[in-house]
Chain A
Amino acid sequence: MRRILGLLLAVLIVSSLGGFAGYAQAEELPRNETLYVGGGLWSPPTNFNPLNPSPVTGTVGLLYETLFTYDPLKDQLKPWLAEEGKWINDNTYEVKLREDLKWQDGKPLTAEDVKFTFEIARKHKGVFFSNIWSWLKEVKVVDDRTVDFVFSDPHYTEWNYWLYMIPIIPKHIWEKIDNPVDYANNENPVGSGMYKLYKTDQMRCIWVRNDNWWGIKYFGKPAPKYIVYVIVYSNNVALTMLVKGDLDWSNFFIPGVPDVKSKYKIVTWYDKPPYHLSANLALLFLNDNKTPFNNPDFRRAIAYAINPKEIAQRASQNQVLPADPSGLLPLPSHQKIKAEDLIKKYGWSYDPEKANEILDKLGYKDVNGDGFREYPDGKPMRFTIIVPYGWTDWMEMARIISDQLAAVGIRVDPKFPDFGKYWDDITKGTFDMAINNFGSFISITPWTFYNWILDPNVAPTGEPTYGGNWGRYKNPEVAELLTEIARTKTLEEAKPLYRKLQEIWLKEVPYIPLIYNGAWYEASPAHWTNWPSEKNPYAYPITWHNYWQLGGALVLLKIKPVTAGGGATTPAKTTESAKGSTTPSPTSKDKGLCGPAALVALSLVPIVLYRRRR
């Protein structure tokens, strides 16, 4: 019986090997035309619907395109699908599209498509920009290349943000789809962008260059024929792949980078700390509704007790910058409105003495001598600071803050609930202290930041709120300023309002800025060169969702392969050897087969021998 089984197995293996050998060679993407990217994909790619909150990264930017793009380095709104856009009167914005725009299926992209994109959001509330219709009145097609947006209540400042966030979709395809919100759009999606969706599987998403892209005559051709966007769950693996040259462009936060950077010639934006550009601001949120955090002086005391420099160094290996009291990002769009004089006058800096002084004055004293202060009425005072479990750099930040506050006699226990619980606590306003950064991303206007963090339409405690005003800070003046700023036409008009906002922020200390989270960027020079950096600052090098149109796409247009051209004999040889162990090249095929086979055979020997003896 056993012998027959063994024989059958052998026959099966031999015949199947023979069968496979008859098949064509596996398709392998040519290394010198393929760009490997990671850091913005955390689950198997399924959703390529640009109307959704979080499609696969690249859906907007590579596949679908926006009317404008935004360059955070120069703080410029740049025409992309649009040739130009301007206000033709107080409530009409006119967009002129470029000539010869076309979809990937060859059909022309016209003003009708733009109108359709906005109309779909009017009909379907699940589209991520449908709230625009509370101040947009209608979209008019003037001619094939001209669209007029007529507003009932023009939010001039906010509109600039949406101009580079809303992807234009093809009418001739989407008008046939019943429910455009839960449409996964993962089968041959048709966009207008420089890349088409090639293939997806459980570990990656592969894009292929659109050689008929309308933009070639305006922007040139992107260099990589293929983009393989990989899923990597651990930083260690990402680092290993990066130093081996298997990952070309990483947007992971990788703790070891400063140590190995020079050895492997890894490109980062700056060669010295903080290595990365800033992307957003992490803040310490205080529950401004609870005693004693409802007292601005108490909040100020905490601000004095916290040392952002130590946090940046210990929690993030100096890969981030410590934040200043204004919390405004070190990028031009925020720096333009920053009022240094106000920071000097009303701001704070690390000074535990000062914190002690304020707390003593407020009557929070250590009565029972346990090293921690009590409430003025003698009750013990104890808080928690929450950070989602597993977010290791933030967990370390929470511990450091706990230590720093203990030094001035405030007892704070770091707690690490699961993300769901953390999110529930902060959205419902039931926490004491928390760290968060979700809506503080860089954008064309600091208004998005203030509107998020000081969101006046905050829900009462116990009900979920959607802005970033987790501590429910309330101030009618702020609400007014925010509505006004959204409606300002120029920066000059907005500046005095921003000044007022900053003055309130610095005087009232609603929340405490900690660090500027980095735009994590590490690139390998093994296969691609001309990466952007401080010395060659041509683009903001991030590939996360909604960042392609901030610079990621420009990088694709500028990088160059190390070995030029396919086909040529000498460069092909170098790529072959540079491939390393992950991709079996034809020459190593036999060896590759024999290794594992021999292992398996060897491990079988004792079993076979034992059976015989019995």
Chain B
Amino acid sequence: MLSGIRRYLIRKTFVYVLTFFSAVTIDWLIPRLMPGNPISIMMSRFASLPEASKYMYSYFMESFGLDKPLWVQYINFWKAVLHGDLGISTYMYPKPVADIIKDALPYDIAILLPAITLSWIVGNWLGAIAGKNKKLDSFLMPVFYFLTASPYFWFAIVLAYILGAKLDLLPISGAYSYGIMPSLSLEFIVDFLKHWILPFLSLFLVMLGGWAIGMRNMIIYEVEADYVRYLEALGASEKTLMKHAFRNAILPQVTGLALQLGTMVAGALTTEIVFSYPGIGYILMQGILNQDYFLIQGCFLVIVISVLVANFIIDLLYAVIDPRVRFSFTEGE
């Protein structure tokens, strides 16, 4: 069995390295295929005399190494990446890309990690209930469909309008009050949580619908499966039936969760915009609009890595939670 797993791991690792290499290469190439160039756009944000812009254009082209042929840029890029250097952003010049990500990402994680995991837990739970209870199902399904079909920004705006503007219960902009200094005081934490609720809720509820529908469908499918029928015929309790159905139904949901967690580092763009909440999503979008090669590269590098890591963890996890996968390694021996 061990050698089976080792072979499996070696094969997987090889695939992952290959995927990483090509994904990062594509992320490097695509922005460069877009018309326009980052330095020119950088100049556009600076209203000055034509003569002055001309001087700066050539200076920045050279200092960012964009005057070199593409293949040289490509080699330099890998050299820098392997040294842990993601370069300097043109959009947020002269801030290093690594610092931009480091400063913005915690806000996304603070919103997205709880939203994804809690919605996954609650969604699976509600979906499972709906799957086995017809009466509840007919009531819950429309709610799930409503939630999952709502665009994030629309739902966010509705929440902000009702809870923020009309009822004036919760603040609608920023991660904390504009007049408070971050500190480890109770006051600040409460303030932070107040600002956190609406963006969290807007993501949590929309995601919830999707998870619940997925789970409900899987449960209905599993409950009809032969093994459940067999158990039923044996006179097993409903609890045992559901336990086995649930275990099978949860597998695709685990994959979904891991992928969601992997793409978490791309931020929650619409939520960030609606609530003026800090995070990487808005910055990445601006980076793309400003053709900030370095910021785009850096962000996607992090996204690629985290998606791959998440996938790798699922692969390992599957061997644990799905006996069939485990069995397939030992089968040949």
Which residues of A lie under 8 Å from residue B276 when comparing CB positions? 203, 231-234, 237
A557 lies within 8 A of chain B by Cβ: no
- In the assembled complex, the Cα of A232 lies from the Cα of B272 at a distance in Å of 10
Which residues of A lie under 8 Å from residue B181 when comparing CB positions? 26-29, 199
State the B residues within 8 Å of A (CB).
34-37, 40-60, 63, 88, 91-95, 100, 103-104, 107, 122, 125, 164-165, 168-175, 177-191, 193-194, 197, 239, 272-276, 278-279, 282-283, 286, 289-291
B144 to chain A, nearest CB (A): 16
A451 lies within 8 A of chain B by Cβ: yes
| 26 A-B pairs with C-beta separation under 8 A | A29-B180, A31-B179, A34-B179, A46-B92, A125-B56, A125-B58, A128-B48, A129-B52, A181-B59, A199-B181, A228-B178, A230-B174, A234-B274, A237-B173, A240-B165, A420-B34, A421-B36, A423-B36, A423-B41, A427-B44, A451-B49, A467-B50, A581-B170, A584-B190, A592-B190, A610-B125
Q: Are A589 and B186 in contact (CB under 8 A)?
A: yes
Least CB separation from B94: chain A residue: A182
Q: Are B179 and A228 in contact (CB under 8 A)?
A: yes
Which residues of A lie under 8 Å from residue B179 when comparing CB positions? 28-29, 31, 34, 36, 228, 582-583
A349 lies within 8 A of chain B by Cβ: no
**B41 touches which one: A23, A419, A593 (CB < 8 A)?**
A419
Mask, A472-501, CB within 8 Å of B = 1, is 000000000000000000000000000000
Q: Are B178 and A614 in contact (CB under 8 A)?
A: no
- In the assembled complex, the Cα of A418 lies from the Cα of B35 at a distance in Å of 10
B209 to chain A, nearest CB (A): 16
CB contacts under 8 Å to B, within A340-377, are none
Which residues of A lie under 8 Å from residue B274 when comparing CB positions? 234, 237
CB contacts under 8 Å to B, within A1-36, are 17, 20-21, 23-29, 31, 34, 36
Q: Are A233 and B194 in contact (CB under 8 A)?
A: no
**B50 touches which one: A46, A130, A183, A455 (CB < 8 A)?**
A455
Q: Are A466 and B185 in contact (CB under 8 A)?
A: no
Which residues of B lie under 8 Å from residue A339 when comparing CB positions? none
Least CB separation from B164: chain A residue: A240
Q: Are A203 and B57 in contact (CB under 8 A)?
A: no
A268 lies within 8 A of chain B by Cβ: no
Which residues of B lie under 8 Å from residue A383 when comparing CB positions? none
Which residues of A lie under 8 Å from residue B37 when comparing CB positions? 424
**A26 touches which one: B43, B59, B180, B291 (CB < 8 A)?**
B180
Which residues of A lie under 8 Å from residue B88 when comparing CB positions? 182
- In the assembled complex, the Cα of A441 lies from the Cα of B49 at a distance in Å of 11
Mask, A111-140, CB within 8 Å of B = 1, is 000000000000011101111001000000
Least CB separation from B45: chain A residue: A54
- In the assembled complex, the Cα of A564 lies from the Cα of B193 at a distance in Å of 32
B56, B173, B275: residue with the most chain A Cβ atoms closer than 10 Å: B173
Q: A421-B35, A581-B171 are in contact. List 15 more A-B contacts (CB 8 A).
A: A20-B189, A43-B283, A52-B94, A54-B46, A126-B60, A161-B49, A199-B181, A203-B175, A203-B178, A420-B41, A466-B50, A468-B50, A582-B171, A592-B191, A596-B190
Q: Are B49 and A131 in contact (CB under 8 A)?
A: yes
A273 lies within 8 A of chain B by Cβ: no
- In the assembled complex, the Cα of A130 lies from the Cα of B48 at a distance in Å of 12
Q: Are A126 and B63 in contact (CB under 8 A)?
A: yes
Q: Are B194 and A596 in contact (CB under 8 A)?
A: yes
B167 to chain A, nearest CB (A): 10
Least CB separation from A422: chain B residue: B36
State the A residues within 8 Å of B (CB).
17, 20-21, 23-29, 31, 34, 36, 42-44, 46-47, 49, 52-54, 124-126, 128-131, 134, 158, 161, 181-184, 199, 201-204, 228, 230-234, 237, 240-241, 246, 418-421, 423-425, 427, 438-439, 441, 448, 451-452, 455, 457, 464-468, 546, 580-584, 586, 589, 592-593, 595-596, 599, 607, 610, 614
B283 to chain A, nearest CB (A): 7
**B185 touches which one: A20, A246, A438 (CB < 8 A)?**
A20
Interface of A is mostly: loop
- Give me the 9 closest cross-chain CB pairs, A-B, nearest first: A467-B50, A202-B278, A53-B46, A424-B36, A126-B59, A26-B187, A27-B181, A466-B53, A420-B36
A587 to chain B, nearest CB (A): 12
- In the assembled complex, the Cα of A451 lies from the Cα of B54 at a distance in Å of 14
Q: Are B178 and A230 in contact (CB under 8 A)?
A: yes
- In the assembled complex, the Cα of A423 lies from the Cα of B180 at a distance in Å of 39
B219 to chain A, nearest CB (A): 16
Which residues of B lie under 8 Å from residue A596 when comparing CB positions? 190, 193-194, 197
B42, B187, B189: residue with the most chain A Cβ atoms closer than 10 Å: B187
Least CB separation from A128: chain B residue: B52
Least CB separation from B170: chain A residue: A581
Which residues of B lie under 8 Å from residue A158 when comparing CB positions? 49
- In the assembled complex, the Cα of A232 lies from the Cα of B286 at a distance in Å of 14
B201 to chain A, nearest CB (A): 10
Which residues of A lie under 8 Å from residue B40 when comparing CB positions? 423-424, 427, 464
Least CB separation from A179: chain B residue: B63
- In the assembled complex, the Cα of A181 lies from the Cα of B55 at a distance in Å of 13
Tell me whether A47 and B93 are in contact in the complex, defined as CB-CB below 8 angstroms, given that A26-B183, A581-B171 are known contacts: yes
Which residues of B lie under 8 Å from residue A21 when comparing CB positions? 186
Which residues of B lie under 8 Å from residue A25 when comparing CB positions? 185, 187
A158, A202, A452, A589: residue with the most chain B Cβ atoms closer than 10 Å: A202
B41, B45, B178, B282: residue with the most chain A Cβ atoms closer than 10 Å: B178
Q: Are A47 and B92 in contact (CB under 8 A)?
A: yes
Which residues of A lie under 8 Å from residue B178 when comparing CB positions? 36, 203-204, 228, 230, 246, 582
Which residues of A lie under 8 Å from residue B104 when comparing CB positions? 44, 202
**B172 touches which one: A34, A240, A457 (CB < 8 A)?**
A240
Tell me whether A17 and B197 are in contact in the complex, defined as CB-CB below 8 angstroms, given that A128-B52, A423-B41 are known contacts: no
- In the assembled complex, the Cα of A465 lies from the Cα of B54 at a distance in Å of 8
- In the assembled complex, the Cα of A240 lies from the Cα of B171 at a distance in Å of 11
Q: Are B49 and A589 in contact (CB under 8 A)?
A: no
- In the assembled complex, the Cα of A27 lies from the Cα of B183 at a distance in Å of 8
Which residues of B lie under 8 Å from residue A125 when comparing CB positions? 55-56, 58-59
A124, A161, A419, A421: residue with the most chain B Cβ atoms closer than 10 Å: A419
Tell me whether A131 and B52 are in contact in the complex, defined as CB-CB below 8 angstroms, given that A584-B190, A592-B190, A593-B190 are known contacts: yes
**A46 touches which one: B35, B36, B95, B177 (CB < 8 A)?**
B95
- In the assembled complex, the Cα of A20 lies from the Cα of B183 at a distance in Å of 10
B208 to chain A, nearest CB (A): 12
Q: Are B273 and A184 in contact (CB under 8 A)?
A: no
- In the assembled complex, the Cα of A614 lies from the Cα of B188 at a distance in Å of 39
Which residues of B lie under 8 Å from residue A29 when comparing CB positions? 179-181
Which residues of B lie under 8 Å from residue A441 when comparing CB positions? 47
B187 to chain A, nearest CB (A): 4
A485 to chain B, nearest CB (A): 13
Q: Are A44 and B283 in contact (CB under 8 A)?
A: yes
- In the assembled complex, the Cα of A161 lies from the Cα of B36 at a distance in Å of 30
Q: Are A43 and B44 in contact (CB under 8 A)?
A: no
Q: Are B43 and A53 in contact (CB under 8 A)?
A: yes
Q: Are B50 and A53 in contact (CB under 8 A)?
A: no
Least CB separation from B181: chain A residue: A27
A589 to chain B, nearest CB (A): 6
- In the assembled complex, the Cα of A134 lies from the Cα of B51 at a distance in Å of 10
Which residues of A lie under 8 Å from residue B122 when comparing CB positions? 607
